[in-house]
Chains A and B, each alone.
Chain A
Amino acid sequence: MIKELYKPGSYPNLAPPKGTVGFYGWTKSNLFSSLSNSLLTIFSFILLYFLIDGIIGWFFLDAVFDADSKIECRKIDSGACWAVITRRVGQFIYGFYPDAERWRIDIVFIGLFFASAPLLYPDLPLRRWLLWFSGFYPFIAFILINGGLFGLVSIEINLFGGFMLTLIIGVSGIVCSLPLGIMLALGRQSKLTFVRSISVCFIEFMRGVPLITLLFVASSMLNYFMPPGTNFSILVRVIIMFTFFAAAYIAEVIRGGIQAIPKGQYEAAESLGMTYWQTTRFITLPQAMKISIPGIVNTFIGLYKDTTLVIVIGLLDPLGIGRAALADTKWNGLSTETYLFVALFFFVSCFAMSRYSLWLENKLNTDHR
């Protein structure tokens, strides 16, 4: 009966009710659905207007991009004085690395792109071959940056600085802390009492103290713990501390992942006769890592941001270079410009990392929901 009445095409499609679709409908439901909502919208518009108005004027329209000093900047125009950045772009990127040798760092930057691509994107063509390159990349990068081999001039570590230093500390910290973090997480879940308590102590200690105190230890006290006469570079000490610090956080993230695996998985593995290491390798870690990816990437982002802390022990990362520039009487007082520029750099890299993590999470999501 019903089939007869409502045969497809026998009635014309009705238009949706008035005021629910199109620009008007969207505006009404998303911006002005109630009195409080309308007030919020108007308030947001006012806020946005002042923000955009101020930012565009100060950032671009009234800004000065080249001048010899702050006073000269102020004579030209009233906005931001980007000259403090443009005059020192080289330092912001390479630190005090000698001009003639900077091509080596450029190669390292390009190499980093090709070495990380196969690790980040599993579907890449020629991935097998590129992975070999990724494996060898740390050694190539070390030789290129440090020099001293194959006729490359050896460069003093205290000349390193700028974004290059951020990348050196950040990438080495990230690469070293993941395996250590996995080991600590397994240690914390271990049946062996001593292994477990050592892991717990290490993790809780690292998470309980501020990173800045660990860096003080690295810069002023670590040599006391080494046999008399040993002296290894401050950069290595700092990387070790960053690795330990991040590893403790990663261990906690992965522990959460391990605990989220249903008990049946272990029982099934055991009933198949798998040993502890087989279970870990084929059952526990693949599932735990997948769950903990967002947390791990967040830890990496945290580590990357924390590299700025090296300025308190005198290393010159971009922030340190910026502060050195501000200490120059010519540029005194241009802190906003300098810090905003460095902030932009960090924002772009960290935002990219968090977007990547979202993408990976979606890709690995096998829930059929």
Chain B
Amino acid sequence: MFFIIGLWRNEKSRQIILQIFVLLFIGWFLSWLAGNVASNFSALGKDISFDFLSIPAGYDINQYLIEYNSRDTHLRAAIVGLLNTGLVAVLGIILATVLGVSVGIIRLSNNWLASKIAYWYVEFTRNVPILLQILLWHGIIINSLPHPRSALNIGDVSFLSNRGFYIPKPILENGIELVYLFSVIAIIFAFLFYKFSKKKQELTGVQYPVLWINLSAIIILPIMGYFISGMPVSLEIPVLKGFNFVGGIHMSPELSALTFALGVYTAAFISEIVRAGILAIDKGQKEAAASIGLKPSKIMKLVVLPQARRIIIPPLTSQYLNLTKNSSLAIAIGYMDLVATLGGISLNQTGREMETMVLVMAIYLSISLSISAFMNWYNNRVKLVGR
């Protein structure tokens, strides 16, 4: 008896006893769940098997990045869905970043009117559910845009109608390799020049207009390659045939609505992150920079942004992650992403709820865990050292 009380009073042994109890409870709970699943499945005559992935899916997907038809397997349908998730995530992230950073900077500008407009944009978009916004934009595209016959004509090459957005498609011909080669050279040059000028600045204080030189190199070199190799790129312009457009790149109403809604919604959060990051920089830093005679643009570039980046990047990454997860709401408007293919139609056709949902969840979980791993790595890298 005294022995047990002694064990309980000793911190080390008490912790071990407590953990054993927790472990026993969790073990019991998990086996209880597993037992329930087993008995439910045997009562229904079901089993757990992933064989369904290799049988033909038998449904069509209207938007695909790799070749797909209804005779392909469920596995391929799932991959098409995953790529569609990736497509809308990448497009949405680009839109959200550009818009979010601009709005964040406008909110900080000393232009009263513009900053108020930016403020109300942020409040309106982030206080309305994203699902509602996706449906709203989809509804506007479907119901309010004109039919293809009277589509909004943008420079005779792009067309916006209730069937989606049509833009010209570049057709690559012989000789395109030279353009690729020149682009690679330009990028390598830009990288080396950046390193060189940074070193030069640290050693001597001389500054080169890095951004402009690099930008012009990246733009001009591939264009040179394009002309030298005899203009190997032609454009396939969408044309109206019958009731709809043919040719070009087609962004379906679903993809357009989803990209736009996700981009606009996430941009509101990103703008707040950018604003908070810039505001968090101590006023003394800016005053010190100004007192050694730096111009406002240099203060921003050399003093404020490098420090703000450390604050901005972690929440920014988690916004990207949120955008990717929110893209699963595509199912409400019929965009065929991972949840709509594997977790939607494949589930309904094969009746394997358990397997499909486990796969869908595992895929999303691995995406988000790898992004958090990146975030931890980045945090450790940029962490302030010392103290």
Contact = CB atoms under 8 A, between A and B. Distances in A.
A335 B333 CA distance: 13
B207 interface: no
B338 to A, nearest CB: 10
A59 to B, nearest CB: 14
Contact of B339 (A29, A213, A336, A343): A213
5 contacts: A217-B357, A305-B129, A305-B130, A346-B127, A354-B127
Nearest to B138: A335
Interface stretch (A95-103, A107-115, A201-209): A201-209
A351 B123 contact: yes
Given A41-B111, A208-B364, A301-B127, A346 B132 contact: yes
Contacts of A5: none
Given A192-B15, A192-B18, A343-B128, 17 more contacts: A31-B112, A33-B111, A192-B19, A194-B23, A204-B365, A208-B367, A208-B368, A208-B369, A213-B343, A221-B354, A221-B357, A227-B39, A333-B143, A336-B139, A339-B139, A342-B132, A346-B127
Interface stretch (B198-206, B232-240, B324-332): B324-332
Interface string A33-51: 1000100110011011000
B365 to A, nearest CB: 4
B40 interface: yes
A223 interface: yes
Interface string B315-328: 00000000001101
Given A224-B36, A224-B40, A225-B36, A40 B111 contact: yes
B37 A225 contact: yes
A340 interface: yes
A66 interface: no
A44 B15 CA distance: 63
Interface string A287-329: 0000000000000010001111101100000010001000000
Nearest to B362: A209
A350 interface: yes
Contact of A306 (B37, B129, B343): B129
Contacts of A342: 132
A44 B36 contact: no
B117 A47 contact: yes
A217 to B, nearest CB: 6
A282 B81 CA distance: 51
Contacts of B331: 212, 312
Instruction: List the 4 closest pairs (A to B, CB-CB), nearest first.
Output: A335-B139, A350-B127, A30-B112, A305-B129
A301 B128 CA distance: 10
B114 interface: yes
A16 interface: no
A193 interface: yes
A309 B15 CA distance: 42
Nearest to A276: B11
A60 interface: no
B40 A228 contact: yes
A216 interface: yes
Interface residues of B, number: 57
B22 A41 contact: no
Nearest to A318: B132
Contact of A210 (B23, B111, B364): B364
Interface in A181-235: 191-195, 198, 204-205, 207-213, 216-217, 220-221, 223-228
A319 B328 contact: no
B361 interface: yes
A173 B129 CA distance: 16
A209 B358 CA distance: 11
A31 B115 CA distance: 10
A306 B130 CA distance: 8
A192 B131 contact: no
Contacts of B372: 204
A268 to B, nearest CB: 19
Q: Which of B41, B127, B369 has the most CB of A within 10 A?
A: B127
Contacts of B339: 210, 212-213
A210 B142 contact: no
A343 B357 contact: no
Nearest to A47: B117
B38 to A, nearest CB: 10
Interface in A1-53: 29-31, 33, 37, 40-41, 44-45, 47-48
A272 B127 CA distance: 46
Nearest to B363: A209
Given A213-B357, A228-B39, A45 B113 contact: yes
Contacts of B19: 192-195
Interface string B105-147: 0100111111001000001100111111101101110111000
A142 interface: no
A65 interface: no
Contacts of A204: 365, 369, 372
B329 to A, nearest CB: 6
Contacts of A45: 113
Contacts of B112: 30-31
Interface in B290-347: 325-326, 328-329, 331-332, 339, 343
